[in-house]
């Protein structure tokens, strides 16, 4: 996976396991103990567990599907060390909006991770929307994906880290 170290993207070993199936996630939550350390649960499972035993989730994260109406419960995720946003298709940009909203409106400061169909061409856009970790699709080269961060040299729009648009920067 790729994680930003400051502003520099680096390849790192992934210390987190994303549990995609709700039934497996529920079984892990019910087992408790060390079963929740280093795992990223479906957000519905995470929120249900959080409401019953928040201490059990201090080393677990949650992943959000792109069609989630997340703004009404996003504040419940702010203490999670990792929030992952699923990109089921490279053509689906809804996760970018989720990233911006989590960073700007809710002030999330933890690891914001892109998962799913994450490709080289999207990485710089994801970074500009507040993502700082990228689980690049398994059949793609991480070394090749790193190049995606330096291919765009002129940015017209503002970003989470620098909201000033190009026309304001040039005047």
pLDDT tens for residues 86-119?
999 989 999 999 999 999 999 999 999 999 999 9
Class of domain 2-170: alpha beta
Cα distances from 164 to residues 4, 104, 168, in angstroms, run 22, 14, 6
Helix ranges (H only) for the chain are: 22-31, 43-52, 94-104, 123-128, 142-146, 166-170
What are the structure tokens assigned to 20, written together? 């995609």
Q: CA dihedral defined by 45, 50, 53, 57, rounded to 10 degrees?
A: 80
Residue 134 CB: number of other CB atoms within 10 A?
A: 26
Q: Where are the domains of the chain?
A: 2-170
Q: Is the dihedral of CA 93, 87, 37, 12 positive or negative?
A: negative
State the average pLDDT over residues 30-49.
Answer: 85
pLDDT surpassing 90 at residue 29: no
Least confident of 87-91, 94-98, 132-136, 152-156: 152-156
Per-residue pLDDT of 40-66, as tens digits, reads: 999 999 999 988 888 878 889 999 999
Query: Given this model, what pLDDT does residue 16 score?
Result: 96
């Amino acid at each position: 996976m790729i994680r930003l170290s400051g502003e520099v993207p680096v390849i790192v070993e992934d210390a987190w396991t994303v549990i995609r199936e709700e039934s497996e996630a529920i079984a892990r939550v019910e087992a408790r103990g060390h079963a929740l350390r280093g795992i990223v649960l479906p957000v519905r499972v995470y929120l249900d567990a959080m409401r019953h035993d928040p201490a059990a989730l201090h080393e677990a994260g949650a992943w959000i599907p792109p069609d989630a109406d997340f703004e009404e419960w996003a504040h419940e995720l702010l203490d999670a060390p990792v929030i992952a946003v699923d990109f089921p298709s490279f053509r689906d940009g809804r996760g970018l909006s989720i990233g911006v909203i989590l960073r700007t409106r809710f002030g999330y400061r933890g690891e914001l991770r892109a998962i799913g169909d994450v490709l080289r061409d999207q990485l710089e856009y994801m970074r500009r929307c507040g993502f700082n970790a990228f689980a690049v699709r398994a059949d793609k080269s991480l070394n090749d994906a790193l190049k995606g961060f330096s291919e765009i040299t002129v940015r017209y729009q503002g970003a989470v880290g620098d909201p000033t648009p190009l026309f304001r920067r040039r005047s």
